[in-house]
Amino acid sequence: MLGASKAKAKETTETAKETARATYMSPLRTAKAKGKKNMFDINLIRTDADKVAKALARKGAKADIAAVRELDERRRAVVTERDDMRNRRNAVSKEVGKIKSQGGDAAGPMAESKALGDQIKEMETEIAALDEQLTTALLLLPNMPADDVPDGTGADDNKTVRTWGDLPQLTGFEPQAHWDLGEKLGILDLARAAKLSGSGFSLFVGDGSRLVRSLINWFLDVQTFENGYTEVFPPALVNAKTMTGTGQLPKFEEELYKLRDDPLYLIPTAEVPVTNIYQDEILDEADLPRLLTAYTPCFRREAGAAGRETRGMIRVHQFDKVEMVKFTTPETSGEEHEKLTRNAEGLLERLGLPYRRLLLCAGDMSMFAAKCYDLEVYAAGVKRWLEVSSCSNFTDYQARRANIRYRTKDGKVRLVHTLNGSGLAVPRVFIAILENNQQADGTVRIPEVLRPYMGGKEFIGKK
């Protein structure tokens, strides 16, 4: 009796453990995902092609929606016919089995089944070709801009929706650019970086290196301890499927560094591996919103920007960044987008860096975003506004491509919304700190929040 109940109790405990683990692990279960056209919402094209065409036109995309519709209709017709034939073949094959098990002659139905099989194979070849065309067409369609995104074709049409801080008053001396300051202080060695790798790379030295590390650590500490994000540390090399999930492939391959001997790419941002963590999975609504943050190095060929901003560290091929990523329900993504943007702004405010928030116009947004705010910080040496964060709501665009869904409380399966934003990109923040906090004697005042990370130092360059 005692033994039995003990055994039972143990069993219950084991079961409870299993259940607990299953619940904890549930976001990591992989759903079956194959052969689907999860690129652009084909249903929207079927039901409201005009709306789609107008929205995409706002983004300046040349998209032949009519051609997509035609492909889709042909595909559906062939699929229906193929399924009917499979249905018949299944019945005939079953008949063959029945006849044979009774020792009869099944030559007739076998021949019919064979003929059906040949026709099915033909149709499948056609379907595969149609699928490929449709997939390619859909993968190249951009996301639709949200309704509150202004019209426009370029940076001039973006709207400044917020500014914070006063531009630094550097009186009595001519403010230097970071490349001069950094070199004189011995914390930035761009010449040797060029020797190692070419132009567009950086070499931080001493307090410069420590400042980079401090920024990364402080960003992560704020995101995790104060803003509720869970820190992850993902791979910097990912495969083509992952790059396709967030949208970098197939359209922007020339922007990516690709390995020669393995089918892998260097990530241009942590957004890629972090968003794809839940690729092909179904999350629970109770786990949303899911907030992740990650530090990674970022690698960009900047092929389209060759020759631009070649001086200094404004545009480089490799840089460090802390990224925020959110997975939300469709109902909350708008509100989470505002919060995420505020998370990034909070960092700039505490660093004392003046910034402005731009609402990007439809034509200036990235291909995948539905709505995007850029945060630009003012740098007194180069006398320019530098983009340090881009906070985007991708609605269900990436979720569809990466097949990231969630189960609602009443059991329905829907696509999540994904969002992300830098929090923050290191080099341009580094630039702004150097240029804005420079003193007449060439030293640089370290923002108070970073001092605990800088060994308590108040200035870079003071003995």
Partner RNA sequence: GGAGGGGUGGCCGAGUGGUUUAAGGCGGCGGUCUUGAAAACCGCUUUCCGGGUAACCGGAACGGGGGUUCGAAUCCUCUCCCCUCCGCCA
Helices 178-185 and 207-221 cross at an angle (nearest 10°) of: 120
What does residue 184 show for φ and ψ, rounded to 5 degrees? Answer: -65, -35
**At its nearest, how many Å lie between RNA and the CB of residue 51?**
19
Per-residue DSSP letter, 175: P
**At its nearest, how many Å lie between RNA and the CB of residue 404?**
11
**At its nearest, how many Å lie between RNA and the CB of residue 181?**
35
- Beta bridge partners, 282, equal 405
Using CA of residue 229, residue 232, residue 233, residue 236, what is the dihedral sign?
Answer: negative
Closer to RNA by CB, 141 or 211: give it: 141
Residues of this chain that interact with RNA (CB under 7 A) are 15, 18-19, 22, 26, 29, 31-37, 42, 76, 79-80, 82-84, 86-87, 89-90, 92-94, 96-97, 100-101, 110, 113-114, 117, 282, 405, 407, 411, 413
Q: Is 224 exposed, middle or buried (0-12, 13-18, 19+ CB in 10 A)?
A: middle
Closer to RNA by CB, 90 or 230: give it: 90
**At its nearest, how many Å lie between RNA and the CB of residue 329?**
16
Closer to RNA by CB, 89 or 337: give it: 89
**At its nearest, how many Å lie between RNA and the CB of residue 76?**
4
**At its nearest, how many Å lie between RNA and the CB of residue 122?**
12
- Beta bridge partners, 162, equal 357
Closer to RNA by CB, 31 or 161: give it: 31
Contact 317, 200 (CB under 8 A): yes
Contact 458, 451 (CB under 8 A): yes
**At its nearest, how many Å lie between RNA and the CB of residue 110?**
4
What is residue 284's three-state secondary structure? Answer: strand
DSSP H or E run through 244? helix 240-246
- Beta bridge partners, 320, equal 297
Contact 456, 445 (CB under 8 A): no
Closer to RNA by CB, 16 or 167: give it: 16
Closer to RNA by CB, 29 or 159: give it: 29
**At its nearest, how many Å lie between RNA and the CB of residue 302?**
30
Closer to RNA by CB, 61 or 110: give it: 110
What does residue 318 show for φ and ψ, rounded to 5 degrees? Answer: -135, 130
Closer to RNA by CB, 41 or 374: give it: 41
Cα 416 to the center of its chain, rounded Å: 13
Per-residue DSSP letter, 270: T
